A and B are shown apart, each in its own frame.
Chain A
Amino acid sequence: MRIPTHAFHKGHAGARSLSRRQLMRMAAGAAGTAFLSRFWMPSFTQAAAMGGPKPIVGGISMPPMKETFHIFLPEPGNEPSTITDFDGLIALSNVQGTCTRSRGGVSSKLVYDVDLRFMKGRYRGADGKEATGTFGFV
């Protein structure tokens, strides 16, 4: 599931839009199953209101959906962190490979494409207080 950087154009408020065609290509590439963290979803913004780190301001938008997904693709030049007011270590990996799907004694081969990141350091949370923490994006 690869989307080139040029597939995006800058939108308002730091968001970048993903066209329906690009989104469908993205979805078609996610064969088999999708295990997704929700920390980059719009609901993360609501979670931040209850305390903890705040999501980055910009992100990806996918018209006609109105939400901004608070993450940028793992491409050179893009911001890798998914949280703002952050100062610390970060590691990002975009890796592809094959995996084996098995159920009831039947197995098959699939391809996978994963984007895994972690952020470890200090941040200022939604409550205005500074804290330290480790956060993963899966």
Chain B
Amino acid sequence: MPPESTMADLNKGIAMMRWSRVPMPDQQDLMNALNNGPAFPATVSFDVRWSGGMQKRKTLRNSQHRFALQIMETAATIEWQAERGDLRLTSDAGTAKTVYAFVGRERNGIFF
């Protein structure tokens, strides 16, 4: 991704990821995607914002999988649009509900 398409500040618990018209195949359903079935050329655009929520800090160290994580749990909102020919899907404003979101720092593998 272009570096300027993302921003994150772990201390403030905010982040942003924004990208427009990213080429991405539409594989119609998950089973087809997992089986590497037919795909159609499409584009997606999205604007994700992390902020607010409980702002809960957590740390995790997993020696088995060799990763260490410092995170601040947040809320997240997204606006997105996908286009495939004359088919368009657009997120409805104000309906985004956070299931799980955070901003963090991870070290894994040789940096663990």
Chain A residues within 8 Å of B, Cβ to Cβ: 1-2, 14, 23, 26-27, 29-30, 32-38, 41, 43, 56-58, 62, 65, 69, 74-77, 79-81, 84-104, 109-110, 112-114, 116, 118-120, 122, 124, 134-136, 138
B89 near A91 (CB under 8 angstroms)? no
A84 near B109 (CB under 8 angstroms)? yes
Q: Is B110 an interface residue (CB 8 A)?
A: yes
A96 and B96 alpha carbons, distance in the complex (Å) = 6
Assuming the contacts A81-B67, A102-B90, asked whether A27 and B78 have C-beta atoms less than 8 A apart, the reply is no
B6 near A101 (CB under 8 angstroms)? no
Give chain B's interface secondary structure class. strand
Please give me the residue from chain B that is nearest to A2 by CB atom. B99
Q: Which residues of B contact A79 (CB under 8 A)?
A: 62, 65, 67, 69, 106, 108
Assuming the contacts A79-B67, A96-B96, A103-B86, asked whether A134 and B5 have C-beta atoms less than 8 A apart, the reply is yes
Q: Which of B21-71 contact A (CB under 8 A)?
A: 22, 24-34, 36, 42, 44, 46, 48, 50, 58, 60, 62, 64-65, 67, 69
Assuming the contacts A84-B109, A86-B109, A135-B1, asked whether A91 and B26 have C-beta atoms less than 8 A apart, the reply is no
Q: Could you give, for residues 81-96 of chain B, a 1 whenever the CB lies within 8 Å of some chain A CB and a 0 otherwise?
A: 0101011111110011
Neighbour of B78 across the interface among A29, A33, A90, A116, CB < 8 A: A116
B3 near A120 (CB under 8 angstroms)? yes
A88 near B86 (CB under 8 angstroms)? no
